Structure 1
Amino acid sequence: MPDAATPGAFLLNGLTIRPGETVLTRLIISKLPSGTVIDVPVHVFRSAEPGPTVLLMAGMHGDEVNGIETIRRMIRRGQLQKPLKGSIIAIPILNIYGFLNFSREVPDGKDVNRSFPGSPRGSVASRVAHRFMREIMPLVDYGIDFHTGGAARSNHPQVRCLLGVDAETDALAAAFAAPFTLHAELRPGSLREAAMRQGRRIIVYETGESLRLDEHGIELGSAGTFRFLQHLGMLAEAPAPTQATVVCRRHTWLRAKYSGLFRTSLKTGQYLEKGQEYGIVADPYGEMAVRLESPISGYIIGLNHMPVVNQGDALLHVAVEVTPG
């Protein structure tokens, strides 16, 4: 929150951070049963010139390493340290519990990104969300929340946000210029929903698969972040997009009609034609194999890599209502 006693300064974790300062502070969340303190490192890079405050955050789900690596690289390379105006708050890992345990959740099995705005007396996930809302959210004007596909699913590099609702959010997504921009409704208890309720604009960047580094997606995420910051006047220059953005108003999953072993030769980013074979589900005993044909046309934006599937499991995520950028 702003510090009334010092013009231009704000308070974070008990510290007064003035314009022009660079600070690393640690938010203490809780302790493990062993007594080990769990804290969240928070980097703050402030310009001497007034301007917006941008949040760059990853590791909401501890096994989603691509966003963690994206922010880590930008910090390590010194690419965030001197905004032309305003402030950057960079949090490489919010869910330290999940990161330590290669897990999406916190130890009580709950999802931090379904626990906002949280409670100081709630579950572990709720307490993490509450601490963030109390310390970080009041400072934020805009943000990028970095994520990765979960449960053995990979996502093609994409931005998710509410399209057509707020012109400023649309402009931020367009500036990021990911290969795909998806209209995504707000989910109850999510960071995006909590931010929207307070008039703060946060977009989500997704790429790759949990527990695997996606080099291409990481570099695209960095470049998109620089364009996002340039759009806000916080950077003088940023790399141009390498391809036109495909805007997706509607998307759906193709789901398994049969249980068995699933295999496909398709990749994310490919265009899928209606009637095209996109994979095979076979029983494990060599008695049956079913060829899968797509009932729709669209771009493949997500793919299930789990070979063993049950009826109803999501196989391909397809963007079916698209507008070339």
Structure 2
Amino acid sequence: MKEEQIHEHDRPIQYATRQLTFRSPVLEGWKWTVHEITAPNPGPLLCVMAGIHVNEVDGIEATFQLVERFRRELRCGTVSIMPIVNLPALKDRTQHVCPIDGKNINFSFPGSSQGTFSEALADALLNEWAADAVVLIDLHGGDLCERVARFSVAPMIGDKSFDEFAFAVAAAFESDIIVQIPPELLMKPGRSCSGRARQRKFAAFAEAGGNGLLDENSVSFHREGVLRVASLLGMIEGQARRNEKQPYIATEYHWLKAERDGWCRYAVEPGDLVENGQSIASVNDFNGSKMYDVIAPVTGIVLWRCTHAIVTSETDLFGIAAGELKSYVTNP
């Protein structure tokens, strides 16, 4: 373990890196690097992770920058940061899944210590590393061949006080869209924030980025969002708002797959409003003849889209947020 002290106004902030292992025998032999920053004053534990999808580099870069920010600015409590969750995917830059079991860690929560690698890791993240965290933050956005809007996810359990704070955590990212997950969907395997909500614990889940490319605007979105969550918890001094634009609130999340292999021409971008029945892409055969239009099944906002022209019947083309689609006014 490496430790050092940084003095800010004569108040030492402790910094350490350590190699984290988990109890499940499925995870034996793997070690996850975590950076821990501890203020001199007691306070909450905040856990931040990225790299469930290793090509979503903006979230990973944001965690590196956050280590330096918290080493200077943390006033109380402890921040534990895990920059890369999906270590097995690093070697080949594997898209979307963990190459050990072929599963998407992102949809494996709450997981199981007796399950496959992805399921055991999901369980360990929730019940070992982040078990005592007041908030767990999970940063995503823009794997290879994919571009996403700036959005965050707020799981709802049907308890007013819990749901209000869960929404406040999601709103701290000042995203363009907030997707509320209704209680009935939390029983299915899902994201880290859903797994935490099932435990009546809080989490933030944020997306921004595209095509596995570093983009400073997306890095800033993740970095400043985490800092605003820390400010909400009283761990650092208050953070300025990014802008006064209010997010759209959605209650549904629709996935659209390609029907057949072909050459796709996209007509809309992440963040665009689409109407039910609108053509949002067309798919040609590989001779250039049009086969079919991709039709929006609902009125909503495009959360993300595939960016590659070559698609197969297994390709996810779009994610669309729908539902009430109301503008929500947050407190300044």
| Equivalent position of 2:8 in the other structure | none
> What is the Cα-based RMSD across aligned positions, in Å?
3.1
| Equivalent position of 1:205 in the other structure | 206
| Equivalent position of 2:167 in the other structure | 170
Retained in 2: the 8 A contact 1:274–1:297? yes
Which of 260, 264, 268 lines up with 1:262 in the alignment? 264
| Equivalent position of 2:41 in the other structure | 49
2: CA distance, partners of 1:108 / 1:311: 22
Which of 308, 311, 319 lines up with 1:309 in the alignment? 311
Q: Percent identity?
A: 23
Q: 1:214: how far off? A: 3.7
2: CA distance, partners of 1:219 / 1:44: 21
Q: 1:55: how far off? A: 0.8
| Equivalent position of 1:118 in the other structure | 112
Q: 1:307: how far off? A: 1.7
Q: 1:194: how far off? A: 3.8
Query: How does 1:45-194 map onto structure 2 within 5 Å?
Result: 45-75=37-67, 77-103=68-94, 104-113=97-106, 114=108, 116-119=110-113, 123-133=116-126, 135-150=128-143, 152-163=145-156, 165=158, 166-184=163-181, 185-186=185-186, 187-188=188-189, 190-194=191-195
Retained in 2: the 8 A contact 1:303–1:315? yes
Retained in 1: the 8 A contact 2:130–2:136? no
Q: 1:81: how far off? A: 4.3
Q: What is the DSSP-based 3-state SS (H/G/I as helix, E as strand, rest coil) of the residue aligned with 1:222?
A: helix
**Which structure 1 segments of 5+ residues have no match?**
1-12, 31-36
Letter in 2 for 1:89: S
Q: What is the DSSP-based 3-state SS (H/G/I as helix, E as strand, rest coil) of the residue aligned with 1:317?
A: strand
Aligned residue pair count: 302
2: CA distance, partners of 1:117 / 1:272: 35
TM-score (norm 1): 0.80
Q: 1:197 to 1:264 in 2, by over 3 A?
A: closer
Letter in 1 for 2:112: G
2: CA distance, partners of 1:164 / 1:29: 29
1: CA distance, partners of 2:14 / 2:110: 30
Q: 1:163 to 1:216 in 2, by over 3 A?
A: farther
Q: 1:295: how far off? A: 4.9
| Equivalent position of 2:219 in the other structure | 218
**Which structure 2 segments of 5+ residues have no match?**
4-11, 24-28
TM-score (norm 2): 0.78
Retained in 1: the 8 A contact 2:258–2:314? yes
Letter in 2 for 1:58: A
Q: 1:190: how far off? A: 4.6
Retained in 1: the 8 A contact 2:55–2:142? no
| Equivalent position of 1:323 in the other structure | 326
Q: What is the DSSP-based 3-state SS (H/G/I as helix, E as strand, rest coil) of the residue aligned with 2:43?
A: coil
2: CA distance, partners of 1:239 / 1:281: 44
Q: 1:238 to 1:118 in 2, by over 3 A?
A: same
Q: 1:80 to 1:100 in 2, by over 3 A?
A: farther
Q: What is the DSSP-based 3-state SS (H/G/I as helix, E as strand, rest coil) of the residue aligned with 1:52?
A: strand
| Equivalent position of 1:22 in the other structure | 15
Q: 1:22 to 1:41 in 2, by over 3 A?
A: same
Q: After alignment, is 154-163 or 101-110 more displaced? A: 101-110
